[in-house]
């Protein structure tokens, strides 16, 4: 039986010292995804994004072999799990910021979570994540936005700029549909792995895609809207503000099928 510790850092059980640093210094990047039958869809994209983030935030890549070894160590004999891979450096703190080098790798292995929802009503909020191209660990703004949306009677938050240009949700990408075409918003955002995999395989379900600016006044042009992330391949957005969309379970199934067409890549 493999060791079932939840958190591993550079192949060793997480130390109190490293965890204390993680709790006190909010600087780093991460990615998260589901492991199925010992593999993960879009694993190469997740690892590539981590390495790019490592270079930007710390000055040196981690390297795919090291990332894969850290994943295997944390998973042990598990073939089904939810993993979060985080990059950090104990040499960087609020006072000491100059260090450059290869960051540490923390991997958490957990039971797979349920999807975010079966449908969602999104509240537009004027906001843009700091460094939106990065999946970084500064999540206060995301939780704060979701709390505000829930307090206002919505399920989640959708970020827009002052002109109403739509970018992304608090924890997800958004897509719009007209007929058999998906329109992805053209705006500063995180390029989601689930979004990319779905887009890559839309032809499997007879759909195409394009990227274009989408603003709140444009919502009437679309037949449907959906959200997607690693835990939720496709979920109907049934309202954005006071604009209502049909749930379209048939469409959600097509989009999910496109995502499933991406092969599982072995860890």
CATH 3.30.470.10 domain span(s) along the chain: 7-110
Each residue's pLDDT, cut to its tens digit, for the chain (267 residues) gives: 344 668 999 989 999 988 999 999 999 999 999 999 999 999 999 999 999 999 999 999 999 999 999 999 999 999 999 999 999 999 999 999 999 999 999 999 999 888 888 899 999 999 999 999 999 999 999 999 999 999 999 999 999 999 999 999 999 999 999 999 999 999 999 999 999 999 999 999 999 999 999 999 999 999 999 999 999 999 999 999 999 999 999 999 999 999 999 999 999
Cα distance between residue 199 and residue 12, in whole Å:
37
Main-chain phi, psi angles of 209, to 5 degrees? -150, 165
Class of domain 119-262: alpha beta
Contact between residue 100 and residue 60 where contact means Cβ atoms under 8 Å apart: yes
CATH 3.20.10.10 domain span(s) along the chain: 119-262
Contact between residue 198 and residue 225 where contact means Cβ atoms under 8 Å apart: no
The CA-atom distances, in angstroms, between 20 and each of 75, 118, 145, 234 are 23, 36, 26, 36
Exposure on the CB side of residue 252, measured as CA atoms within 13 A: 21
Q: In whole angstroms, what separates CA 111 from the centre of its chain?
A: 17
User: What pLDDT, on the 0 to 100 scale, is given for residue 6?
Assistant: 87
Contact between residue 49 and residue 100 where contact means Cβ atoms under 8 Å apart: no
Class of domain 7-110: alpha beta
Cα distance between residue 24 and residue 216, in whole Å:
38
Question: Can you give the pTM of this predicted structure?
Answer: 0.94
Greatest distance between any 2 Cα atoms in the chain: 56
């Amino acid at each position: 039986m493999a060791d079932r510790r939840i958190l591993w850092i550079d192949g060793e059980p997480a130390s109190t010292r490293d965890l204390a640093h993680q709790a006190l210094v909010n600087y780093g990047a991460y990615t998260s995804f589901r492991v199925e039958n010992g593999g993960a869809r879009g694993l190469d994209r997740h690892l590539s994004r981590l390495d790019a983030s490592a270079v930007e935030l710390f000055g040196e890549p981690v390297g795919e072999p090291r990332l894969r070894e850290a994943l295997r160590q944390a998973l042990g004999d598990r073939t089904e799990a939810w993993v979060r891979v985080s990059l950090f450096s104990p040499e960087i703190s609020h006072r000491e910021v100059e260090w450059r080098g290869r960051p540490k790798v923390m991997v958490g292995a957990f039971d797979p979570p349920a999807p975010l929802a079966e449908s969602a009503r999104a509240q537009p909020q004027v906001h843009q994540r700091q460094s939106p191209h990065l999946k970084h660990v500064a999540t206060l703004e995301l939780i704060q936005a979701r709390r505000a949306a829930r307090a206002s009677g919505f399920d989640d938050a959708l970020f827009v700029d002052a002109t109403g240009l739509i970018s992304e949700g608090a924890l997800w990408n958004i897509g719009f549909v007209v007929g058999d075409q998906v329109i992805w918003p053209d705006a500063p955002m995180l390029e989601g792995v689930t979004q990319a995999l779905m887009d890559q395989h839309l032809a499997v379900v007879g759909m195409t895609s394009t990227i274009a600016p989408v603003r709140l006044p444009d919502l009437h042009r679309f037949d449907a809207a959906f959200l997607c992330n690693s835990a939720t391949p496709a979920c109907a957005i049934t309202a954005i503000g006071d604009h209502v969309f049909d749930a379209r379970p048939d469409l959600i199934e097509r989009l999910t099928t496109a995502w499933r067409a991406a092969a599982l890549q072995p860890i």
